[in-house]
Structure 1
């Protein structure tokens, strides 16, 4: 049981929805047999009942196979199962004709007539509903349902029905098959929507990283581009002055040296601003990103009064932990707690998506340990109970003028 539960938890949300959808259609096949096939035994006795039930079971198997192949096609894993759809249509036609033949050539029994009509209507209804999985356009779905309904109406005449009864049979198949077809189409739409939302979430994360890289590139370009242009101009001027033997060349090269040192300082400031993370901003951002991803995020504690280097180190912990929750887990709840314990500050990030959370050897966590080691901090990660993953970072707080 534990392994089965772990198999389910290891799946991503889209994969869970796909598994649920796939097995729902397989379950429909069982419902089909239970609702259409098994009641035959209470209406007909002997070999006729066995044959009718076997026909229903065979048709249910064909429907289940068609549904599986159609879902694979929907997810782009195979080509459209055109041949299987034709097989489904052919099997449905053969079984319908066989049921009509049994009703005509069998004994004159009201129970047999009721059983034959029930199987006839059930076969056409489920064939139309499952067949709708293999087509995409609305017109084709409507044509499929309408065609089976028309076939049901025409098939009422060999069963001994008059015009009103045959029309009622066609309408019953039209309503039932239309509902099942709508369920099939809606299930496929929902499955595709879940996969598209998951792709959009990953794209949003990549865009956030790309935007940050662009921001860093723009800042670096602004600093380096302007100063390098000035250095180039002053160097060219110094060369011209030196060729003429004028002493102002030294002044120009001195200015070049000063600008070069200034550029180095500005680049360090840009890189430092890029590397440092504000803890308050990261906590707010983590809560917003996780909430947008459908994960309930609870944040407790305030970073006020913590030294800048401590906030920077813990900010990176929050950033990396948030990324891991989104990328590796399938969490529903994430709790981020910041608290002080004597001369140390403790940051805890706990989520209930442990089945896909990273281990202790990931490059991201290794980088966090290096950052925390620079401020004498420690990092501990791992599952704490069934389905729960916890990350704990501890950093000593050095007394500063702004607080401790």
Structure 2
């Protein structure tokens, strides 16, 4: 498999400052290590399938604290290459030494794009998922590692991923609109005071200020941890990824239609919620003995640090149970930062197979 090289050039210095440096701190690693759902899924995926790790060569992409590399070694891997860009590599070495697997786990501080390994690997393991799965674009690096270093018939952990979208209700929609209106009222007072006290008219900047505040309060998606009863219809799958075959081009955009019947009792739709799941199925050549799923859907007690991404509609959609939300979601990488995402959501309410209104399009930013 040839590497997919069709990706925008990245300023490595700026990329490190804006992204990687966060992962170089233990407080951030602790947040992820404290995510029980995350940890149990990876632990189960490795140890319930220890037979597939025994005597194998493993590559851990973005090892962070090194815990996945340690687990792979404990499961019987012959050699584990643990690659980490940040200075967290020093901490990962301590973890390997502290758990008596330093002879198996070799921590390499470098970007995976620059690494040269002495051999191909049987398994690539990585926790690459960002908010709404694709924010952060770390899977790009996993794809490069796969195309360069995975043996034919090798396995990816996780092996598959899916993205979901569902209508939802939330008081946040009204709250964010009130905050936006308060900000604009404050701007009007500022313009008046500046004109009266200093003789300068700043009203020429009103449109720019409104666009800025609209993006901040109304168009930036929100992290939230929703309850299942906030969902107003069954989730639609908007993207499926096979980690063994996906290319950078495949994951650089999401373009999907959806049609979601609303549950009974609904009278207003505040917006949409997005989340993901990943599956550990091994590979076609070596299927997992026990398939494991990591799910980030709204839950009462299985919450994760990923939570859900919330896209609030302004104004909310008027609809009732049995109506159908028909629309399209298009998600692309931000032109200013390839690790962030721009989202365009177009939807309309249908009743009895007929549209009740013209489609409404809203723009959002996952930052």
- For the aligned pair, the TM-score class normalised by the smaller chain equals under 0.3
Q: Who wins on radius of gyration, i.e. which is larger?
A: 1
Which structure has the highest strand share of the two?
2
Of structures 1 and 2, the one with the larger relative CO (CA 8 A, separation 6+) is 2
Which structure has the highest helix share of the two?
1
User: TM-score when scaled to structure 1?
Assistant: 0.20
